[in-house]
Amino acid sequence: MSKLEELQSYITEVCVTKMNMEAPQEINLEDNVEKMFQLDSISMMELIVNLEERYGCKVPDEDLAELGLKSLPELLDYLEGRSVHA
C-alpha cells in the first residue's frame, strides 16, 4: 500500500469510526480533503488532531484553514514535511 493509499485509508477510518460519517463512495485525488470527505470546520479540526497524532507533528494555527483545501497528495506532502517520523 502506498503512503497516499495509507493516508486515504486513515482519513476514511477516522471519519467512519470517530466521527460517525459515511465513507466517500468515490475518491478523486484532485478534490480537496474537505470536499472529498464532506467535512465541516469541526470535523476538519477533529481530523487534524488525529493526523497530528499519527504523523507526530503539530500543525501551526496559521496553516489550519488551508489544510482542508489541499488535495490528498498535497496533504501527504505537507504532513511528511512536518513529521518527526519522516
DSSP conformational letter for 31: S
How is residue 1 annotated by DSSP?
A: -
pLDDT at residue 38 greater than cutoff 60: yes
CA 62 – CA 43 distance, rounded (Å): 18
User: What does pTM read for this prediction?
Assistant: 0.90
Residue 85 banded pLDDT, cuts 50, 70, 90? low
What is the percent of the chain with per-residue pLDDT over 90, rounded to a whole number?
81
pLDDT band, very low/low/confident/very high, at 29 (cuts 50, 70, 90) = confident
Burial of 79 by CB count in 10 Å (0-12 exposed, 13-18 middle, 19+ buried)? buried
Distance (Å) of CA 41 to CA 6, 34, 35: 23, 9, 12
